[in-house]
Amino acid sequence: MMIPFTKMHGCGNDYIYINCFENKIENPEALSKDISNRHFGIGGDGIVLICPSDVADAKMRMFNIDGSEGKMCGNAIRCVAKYVYDNDIVRKETLHIETLSGLKKIELHIENGKMKSATVDMGQAILEPFNIPIVVKDQTMQVNYPITIEDHTYSITPVSMGNPHGVIFSDDIHLLDLPTIGPKFEHHPMFPEGVNTEFIQIENRNVIQMRVWERGSGETLACGTGACAAVVASVLNGYCDKNTDIHVKLIGGELIIRYTADTVYMTGPATTVFTGLIDWSK
Ligand SMILES: N[C@H](CCC[C@H](N)C(=O)O)C(=O)O
């Protein structure tokens, strides 16, 4: 079957977007595994289905490279907003998008009739161990919990932004061997549903640097939910402040995160790269 797709990215976190207002995808898990491959497929960090919703302007489903479904994706939700706006599916500057972790409200920033960037109300950070989920004895919030990987004990701050994250602070994140240590965090028994791991270097109270190892996709150039989790963990650790714009410098770009009493706001760009047609059946 011929499947039309659009390649888009947010800060270099690239997915293959499929318009499911017009196309029906029977087996998104297998499709994601095949076409995300950078040598034998289109190439991407996974696929995102843009679907009709009964309760919002659109519904998003995202699948990692390994075919697993993620409950939320910060970079993808901005691209979904851009897709529905730029393609005249929903021409509104405030959108609601349904995800597996609930409805999210998005304010679009428009230039010359196209969406350039957006601010997403990402919802509250979840810190209770049972809801992240993490396996620990004490069911209260955990900050800098010890976790041993390859004979080295790290301090991890677990945060859910609708999907599980673990945040680690380091003096030089560029020296870390993520392909070796990343999978060990991802599959550690402390995280029964796996984890996206963020490695953070503090520049100052308003600027942090981040690398990420994503559950199901490996190292990506950016992670929106991860940047939110990183700022929440930085506030919990006393490195940054609430109600302040924190610039998160990722390998592929920059996101601005604001952690307030009620929610976490994420502002960042969304870019369309190309459209195409792929012949795929399974
Ligand atoms: N890159 C995404 C997150 C994908 C999360 C996915 N890897 C999972 O939770 O399984 C973001 O911008 O928020």
- pLDDT score of 241: 98
Domain count, the chain: 2
User: Does the complex come out with an ipTM higher than 0.95?
Assistant: yes
Give per-residue burial for 222-254: e unless 16+ CB within 10 Å, then b: bbbbbbbbbbbbbbbbebbeeeeebbbbbbbbe
Compute the mean pLDDT over every residue in the chain, rounded to the nearest whole number: 98
In a domain, 65, yes or no: yes
Calculate how far, in angstroms, residue 181's C-alpha sits from the geometric centre of ligand 1: 18
**pLDDT higher than threshold 90 for residue 16:** yes
DSSP one-letter string for 49-92: EEE--SSSSEEEEEEETTSPEES--HHHHHHHHHHHHHTTSS--
Which residues, listed in sequence order, are joined to residue 218 by a DSSP beta bridge?
Answer: 214
Q: 247 and 133, same structural domain?
A: yes
Ligand 1, atom 10, lies closest to the CA of: 70
Q: 207 and 91, same structural domain?
A: no
In a domain, 124, yes or no: no
In a domain, 76, yes or no: yes
The three state secondary structure string of 98-156 is: EECCEEEEEEEEEECCEEEEEEEECCCCECCHHHCCCCCCCCCCCCCEEEEECCEEEEE
Segment 114-119 shows an average pLDDT of 98
- Pick from 13, 14, 197, 225 the residue to mutate for probing ligand 1's pocket: most ligand atoms within 8 Å of its CB: 225
In a domain, 77, yes or no: yes
In a domain, 161, yes or no: yes
H helices, E strands: number in the chain: 4, 18
Q: 30 and 70, same structural domain?
A: yes
Q: 228 and 103, same structural domain?
A: no
**pLDDT higher than threshold 90 for residue 243:** yes
**pLDDT higher than threshold 90 for residue 54:** yes
Host H or E run for residue 186: helix 178-186
Q: 187 and 103, same structural domain?
A: no
Q: 170 and 235, same structural domain?
A: yes
Asked if residue 215 has its Cβ within 6 Å of ligand 1, the reply is: yes
pLDDT tens column, 57-96:
999 999 999 999 999 999 999 999 999 999 999 999 999 9
The C-alpha atoms of residue 226 and residue 244 are separated, in whole angstroms, by 18
| CATH number of 233's domain | 3.10.310.10
In a domain, 214, yes or no: yes
Backbone angles phi, psi at 185, to 5 degrees: -70, -50
CA-CA-CA-CA dihedral for 25, 26, 28, 30, to nearest 10:
-130
The pLDDT-based confidence of 274 (bands split at 50, 70, 90) is very high
- Sequence letter at residue 126: I
Segment 272-278 shows an average pLDDT of 98
- pLDDT score of 82: 98
Q: 112 and 149, same structural domain?
A: no
Q: 183 and 143, same structural domain?
A: yes
Do residues 76 and 60 touch, judged by C-beta distance below 8 A? Answer: yes
Segment 262-280 shows an average pLDDT of 98
Two structure tokens written together for 247: 């610039």
Segment 175-202 shows an average pLDDT of 98
Q: 242 and 142, same structural domain?
A: yes
Domain that holds residue 232: 129-262
In a domain, 16, yes or no: yes
**pLDDT higher than threshold 90 for residue 268:** yes
Q: 146 and 257, same structural domain?
A: yes
Asked if residue 224 has its Cβ within 6 Å of ligand 1, the reply is: yes
Is 0.95 surpassed by the pTM of this model? yes
Q: 256 and 133, same structural domain?
A: yes
Q: 27 and 91, same structural domain?
A: yes
Q: Percentage helix, strand, coil, to 5, in the chain?
A: 15, 45, 40
Degrees to nearest 5, angle at CA 45 with 41 and 51 = 90
Calculate how far, in angstroms, residue 225's C-alpha sits from the geometric centre of ligand 1: 7
**pLDDT higher than threshold 90 for residue 150:** no
